């Protein structure tokens, strides 16, 4: 999808055949509705006119029109059933394709798009906003077509009977539409704030659910969780504003239409008195005028709902308008090899993160990235994975620049295992199978054995078919970590990137995970973000970062001898290993004491 196509995105351009089917289906199904209203009018006239003119009722014609009325009613019922079913089927077809299209778009966006947004915002666009668009197609659009077709058919008949009275109707609608326009502008302005408030509340609820253990520990549950409380109060305020401030001009719109119907009746009565209108024509306007104004009222309300839904479609359009990571056509396929940074600069939110990074990560060797928090270690790994593109300089993968490459092809060559492991609400086998789609169960088990997690999986009641809770909360941290390593082993990519996963695990888990790591990194190009230097003593190369620059490089022994930043951090870690927690009974507290 090119940029020009994205900018012109519109909900009503999605799958034009399906949309045309909705329009045509509802137009056809509403044609009998106009005839249905006309049938009521004819029957009433067949009974009332003879009474007014003191003539006999023509029962033959009356029975004919009654039979015709029944036929039209059945036609209306069957066509409406078909039209509504078709609308639902086509709208759900469009919304399904739209969600898949959004997912594909999100896959191509850089991480910066997600970092700049609230956690629930992207989810809200895929769920809430697409649902609003879906309701527009399945519910509002058919009703809008109906509310246009019926007055159009009746108006074409009424204008032939008497132009003057129809002018009263048109004038009334013109005056009322001014207030509808005001309501439209209000709902457009307040609707954005209302949806933003819904998104914020969803994010805070998600945050509340995920951190409930922490909040309970600090007695911050319920109303004491201020961010959730304030978010809900703001949602209440925005909901009230969008309903009341929009509702007032809409109610005035409806009131003017009611007054217009009354004005039409009064004008018609005056015209009868002066001989400008017949009684039959007056009855026609009295009956059909009511059926004319009723759908116009509904049309006004539905247009407001449509205007609100258009706020959601604009939010969807923002996603499609976001700039993707460019992929050049005709590029040679990427092949595994060494990785090289050439004068790489990168900024995030206008803050420099990497400044002129130059390094070579040799093939089939272990390179460790160390440094203080915020020094740029994770950014280097993210740039290798092309979660962002570099601003200056270039990164070579197997001798080829990764900027402009096929991102999916690049990621096929990379396995990533990080400290924060996410497992899906699916079977353990399928969670491991993410590493390689279509892998057999035996392949999955072999990977699990190498990752030292086969035994605990096999001991579960459902074994590999055990369904995990979302996020893998039903497993321990060590168990989740080993499953993530099994994924990487199953993928068998030539490059493995690790964010040291043994930092917060107990010794038993650490031993198992270390063995799993050993199986994972055999004959691989390994990049480790190291937090504990004890785990990288055998690294072939250690890159020390400080404020976005590589300030030292070499093996462990060499760096310790240089007595620079690495040596200082190493000494601090060694010193920290000698600290223990000691209870001070008199002070009724704890203090850190160094071992003698």
Do the beta carbons of residue 381 and residue 362 sit within 8 Å? no
Give the model's pLDDT for residue 201.
79
- Distance (Å, rounded) from C-alpha 82 to C-alpha 318? 35
Distances (CA, A) of 475 to 215, 480, 505, 514, 527: 21, 6, 13, 19, 27
Candidates 555, 588, 594, 591; CA nearest to 574 is 594
Region 155-169: mean pLDDT is: 88
Q: Cα-atom radius of gyration of the chain, to the nearest Å?
A: 35
Mean pLDDT of 567-571: 90
C-beta of residue 385 within 8 angstroms of C-beta of residue 416: yes
- What does the pLDDT read at residue 437? 85
354 neighbors 346 (Cβ within 8 angstroms): yes
Half-sphere exposure of 531 (CA within 13 A, CB side): 12
DSSP state of 116: T
Residue 470 has pLDDT above 80, yes or no: no
Which letter, b or e, does each residue of 204-238 get, where b requires 16 or more Cβ atoms within 10 Å of its Cβ?
beebbeeeeeebeeeebeeeebeebeebbebbeeb
Question: Which two structure tokens, joined as six digits, stand for 569?
Answer: 């951090």
Instruction: Please give the average per-residue pLDDT across 582-592, as a whole number.
Output: 47
Q: How far apart are CA 528 and CA 371, in angstroms?
A: 12
Give the whole-angstrom CA distance, residue 450 versus residue 445.
Answer: 9
| Cα 491 versus chain centre, distance | 28
Q: Is the pLDDT of residue 251 over 70?
A: yes
Q: In angstroms, rounded to a whole number, what is the distance separating the alpha carbons of residues 307 and 311?
A: 7
Of 157 and 59, the one with more pLDDT = 157
Contact 525, 357 (CB under 8 A): no
Residue % of the chain over a pLDDT of 90: 19
Strand 549-554 to strand 392-397: parallel, antiparallel, or no bridges (unpaired)? unpaired
Give the least confident one: 5-19, 122-136, 483-497, 508-522: 5-19
Could you read off the pLDDT of 172-217 as tens digits, one per residue?
A: 999 999 999 998 888 888 888 888 787 777 777 777 776 666 666 6
Q: What is the pLDDT of residues 410-452, one digit of tens each?
A: 888 988 887 778 888 889 999 999 888 888 999 999 999 888 8
DSSP 517-583: HHHHSTTSEEEEE-S-GGGGTT-SEEEEEETTEEEEEE-HHHHHHHTSHHHHHHHHHHHHTTEEEEE
More confident residue, 40 or 111: 111
Instruction: Say if residues 109 and 325 touch (Cβ distance below 8 Å).
Output: yes
Is it the case that residue 591 has pLDDT exceeding 50? no
Confidence of residue 224 (pLDDT cuts 50, 70, 90): low
Lowest mean pLDDT, pick from 2-6, 287-291, 426-430: 2-6
What pLDDT is recorded for position 500? 65
Residue pLDDT, tens place only, 260-283: 999 999 999 999 888 888 877 888
Among 14-18, 105-109, 155-159, 556-560, the least confident range:
14-18
- pLDDT, residue 253, reads 93
Helix or strand run (H / E) with residue 596: none
How confident is the model over 366-378, as a mean pLDDT? Answer: 89
CA 501 remoteness from chain centre: 30
3-state DSSP assignment of residue 391: coil
Tokens representing residue 546 in the block: 């400080």
Q: What is the mean pLDDT of residues 45-74?
A: 72
The Cβ of residue 559 has, within 10 Å, a number of other Cβ atoms equal to 21
Residue 104 in this model has a pLDDT that exceeds 70: yes
* Other residues' Cβ atoms within 10 Å of the Cβ of residue 290: 13
Check residue 119 and give its pLDDT.
Answer: 62
DSSP code of residue 362 = -
Cα–Cα distances in Å, from 228 out to 190, 201, 209? Answer: 21, 7, 11
> Does the predicted model carry a pTM greater than 0.75?
no
Q: State how far the Cα of 61 lies from the Cα of 520, in Å rounded to an integer.
A: 89
Specify the DSSP class assigned to residue 350.
T
User: pLDDT tier at 170 (50, 70, 90 boundaries)?
Assistant: very high
CB under 8 Å to 84, separation ≥6 — which residues?
29, 142
Beta strands in 272-350 (DSSP E): 339-348
Tell me which of 349 and 299 has the higher pLDDT.
Answer: 299
Cα separations (Å) of 348 from 352, 374, 390, 560, 581? Answer: 6, 12, 11, 32, 39
Q: What angle do CA 247, 253, 254 make, to 5 degrees?
A: 90
Mean pLDDT for all residues in the chain: 81
DSSP H or E stretch at residue 589: strand 589-594
pLDDT beyond 90 at 555 = yes
Environment class of residue 557 by beta-carbon count within 10 Å: exposed (0-12), middle (13-18) or buried (19+)? exposed
> Once rounded to an integer, what is the mean pLDDT over residues 375-404?
89
Domain 339-589 in CATH 3.40.50.300? The answer is: yes
Task: Pick from 223-237, 256-270, 297-311 the range whose average pLDDT is largest.
Answer: 256-270
pLDDT at 596 over 50: no
Domain spanning 3-321: which CATH class is it, in words? mainly alpha
Mean pLDDT (whole number) for 367-379: 89
What residues does each domain of the chain span? 3-321, 339-589
DSSP 156-170: HHHHHH-HHHHHHHH
pLDDT for res 420 = 76
Model confidence over 334-344: pLDDT tens digits? 887 889 999 99
Alpha-carbon distance 502 to 487, whole Å? 17
Percent of the chain with pLDDT strictly greater than 70 = 84
Looking at residue 309, what is its pLDDT? 81
Q: What's the burial of 345, exposed, middle or buried (CB within 10 Å: 0-12/13-18/19+)?
A: middle
* Closest to 246 measured CA to CA, from 301, 175, 316: 301
């Amino acid at each position: 999808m090119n940029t020009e196509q994205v900018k012109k995105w519109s909900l009503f351009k999605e799958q034009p055949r399906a949309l045309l089917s909705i329009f045509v289906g509802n137009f056809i199904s509403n044609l009998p509705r106009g005839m249905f209203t006309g049938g009521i009018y004819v029957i009433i006239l067949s009974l009332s006119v003879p009474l007014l003119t003191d003539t006999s009722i023509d029962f033959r014609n009356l029975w004919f029109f009654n039979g015709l009325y029944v036929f039209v009613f059945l036609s209306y019922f069957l066509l409406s059933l078909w039209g509504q079913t078709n609308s639902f089927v086509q709208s759900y077809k469009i919304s399904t394709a739209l969600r898949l299209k959004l997912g594909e778009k999100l896959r191509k966006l850089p991480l910066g798009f997600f970092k700049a947004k609230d956690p629930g915002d992207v989810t809200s666009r895929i769920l809430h906003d697409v649902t609003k668009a879906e309701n527009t197609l399945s519910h509002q659009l058919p009703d809008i077509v109906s509310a246009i077709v019926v007055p159009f058919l009746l108006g074409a008949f009424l204008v032939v009977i008497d132009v003057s009275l129809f002018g009263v109707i048109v004038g009334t609608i013109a005056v009322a539409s001014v207030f509808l326009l005001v309501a439209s502008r209000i709902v457009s302005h307040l609707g954005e704030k209302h949806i933003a408030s819904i998104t914020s509340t969803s994010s805070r609820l998600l945050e509340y659910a995920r951190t409930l253990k922490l909040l309970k520990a600090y007695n911050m549950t319920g109303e004491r969780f201020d961010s959730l409380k304030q978010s809900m109060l703001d949602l209440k305020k925005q909901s009230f504003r969008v309903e009341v401030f929009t509702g007032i001009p809409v109610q005035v719109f409806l009131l003017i239409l009611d007054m217009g119907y009354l004005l039409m009746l009064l004008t018609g009565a005056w015209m009868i008195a002066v001989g400008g209108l017949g009684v039959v024509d007056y009855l026609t306007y009295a009956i059909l005028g009511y059926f004319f104004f009723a759908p116009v009222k509904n049309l006004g309300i539905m247009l407001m709902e449509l205007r609100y839904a258009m706020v959601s479609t604009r939010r969807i359009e923002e996603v499609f308008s976001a700039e993707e990571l460019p992929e050049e056509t005709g590029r040679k396929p990427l092949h595994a090899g060494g990785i090289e940074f050439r004068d790489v600069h990168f900024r995030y939110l206008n803050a420099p993160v990497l400044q002129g990074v130059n390094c070579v990560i040799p093939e089939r060797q272990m390179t460790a990235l160390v440094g203080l928090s915020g020094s740029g270690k994770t950014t280097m790994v993210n740039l290798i994975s092309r979660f962002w593109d570099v601003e200056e300089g270039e990164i070579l993968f197997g001798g080829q620049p990764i900027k402009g490459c096929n991102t999916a092809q690049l990621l096929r060559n990379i396995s990533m295992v990080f400290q924060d492991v996410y497992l899906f609400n699916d079977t353990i086998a399928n969670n491991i199978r993410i590493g390689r789609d279509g892998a057999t169960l035996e392949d999955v088990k072999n990977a699990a054995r190498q990752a030292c997690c086969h035994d605990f999986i096999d001991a579960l009641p459902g074994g590999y078919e055990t369904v995990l809770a979302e996020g893998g909360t039903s497993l321990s941290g060590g168990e989740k970590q080993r499953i993530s390593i099994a994924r990487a082993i199953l993928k068998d990519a030539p490059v493995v990137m690790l964010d040291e996963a043994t930092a917060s695990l107990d010794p038993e888990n650490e031993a198992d995970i270390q063995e799993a790591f050993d199986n994972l990194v055999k004959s691989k190009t390994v990049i480790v973000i190291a937090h504990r230097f004890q785990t990288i003593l055998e690294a072939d190369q250690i890159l020390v970062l400080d404020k976005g620059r590589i300030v030292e490089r070499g093996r462990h022994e060499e760096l310790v001898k240089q007595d620079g930043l690495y040596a200082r951090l190493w000494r601090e870690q060694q010193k920290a290993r000698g600290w223990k927690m000691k209870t001070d009974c008199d002070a009724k507290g704890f203090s850190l004491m160094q071992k003698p």
